[in-house]
Amino acid sequence: MPLERMWAGWRLSYVESSFDPARPVDASATDEAGSLFERILASDLSDEEARVVWRGPTCSALLNAYPYNNGHVLVLPNRAVPELEQLDDEEHSALWSAVRSATVAIKAAYRPDGVNIGVNLGRGAGAGVPDHLHVHVLPRWAADTNFMTSVADARVLPESLADTWRKLTAAWPA
C-alpha cells in the first residue's frame, strides 16, 4: 500500500515563495538557474523565509520542506554535486562538521531519544534531489511511529516549519 499524503496547504506557499510559480518545480532538474538547493540559497528571500538554518562558505543547512519529523534538517554543499567523491577537501570537511552541528542543534532543541543521519546517493538509492547531494539529519523518539503511520501510512507533524526554523537557528552552535 503506498504512503498516503495529507493535505498541507502551507507547503505550496513555501515552494511558490522560492521560485517562479509559472515555472514547474522539478526537484531533480538542474538548469541555468541551478539545482533546487542552489536556487533556494541564491533566492532573495531571508534565511527565515527560505528556511536556511545556517550558511557557511562552502556548505549550508536548511529545513526539509517535507520532513519525516519536526527538526528534519538537510546539510549540503553550496554547489550542486551528486556524489560524495566530487566534493573537494574543504567541502568534505565542512559538510561533516555541519552534520555534527546539526546534530548538536537538534539534540538541544528537541531532546530526542536518537538522531538519524543518512545520505541517499542517486535516484536508485531514493534521492529526491539526485543532482545535489545532501545529508538528512533528524530527531527520533522511541514512540514516534504512532497509529497514523502504522494504520494510515501518514505522518502528522505538530510544529510549523517557521517554529522549527526558530528553534534550530537558536540552538545552532556558534
What was the pLDDT predicted at 142? 87
Place of cell 533546487: 36
Domain membership of residue 67 (yes or no) is yes
Catalytic residue among 72, 132, 134, 136: 134
For residue 25, give every residue at least 6 positions away whose Cβ sits within 8 Å of its Cβ, in sequence order, or none: 15, 19, 36
Domain membership of residue 65 (yes or no) is yes
What was the pLDDT predicted at 154? 62
- Contact in structure between 36 and 19 (CB atoms under 8 Å): no
What was the pLDDT predicted at 26? 47
Q: Is the dihedral of CA 139, 141, 147, 151 positive or negative?
A: positive
Q: Which domain does 104 fall in, by range?
A: 10-171
Domain membership of residue 43 (yes or no) is yes
What was the pLDDT predicted at 126? 83
CATH assignment at residue 65: 3.30.428.10
pTM exceeds 0.75? yes
CA–centroid distance for 124 within its chain: 19
Domain membership of residue 121 (yes or no) is yes
What was the pLDDT predicted at 120? 92
What was the pLDDT predicted at 21? 39
- Contact in structure between 106 and 138 (CB atoms under 8 Å): yes
Domain membership of residue 73 (yes or no) is yes
Which residues of the chain carry a pLDDT beneath 50?
A: 14-29
Domain membership of residue 81 (yes or no) is yes
Domain membership of residue 72 (yes or no) is yes
Tally of structural domains, the chain? 1
Domain membership of residue 5 (yes or no) is no
- For the purposes of burial, counting CB atoms within 10 Å of the CB of 43, is it exposed (0-12), middle (13-18) or buried (19 or more)? middle
Residue 92 catalytic? no
What was the pLDDT predicted at 146? 58
What was the pLDDT predicted at 5? 58
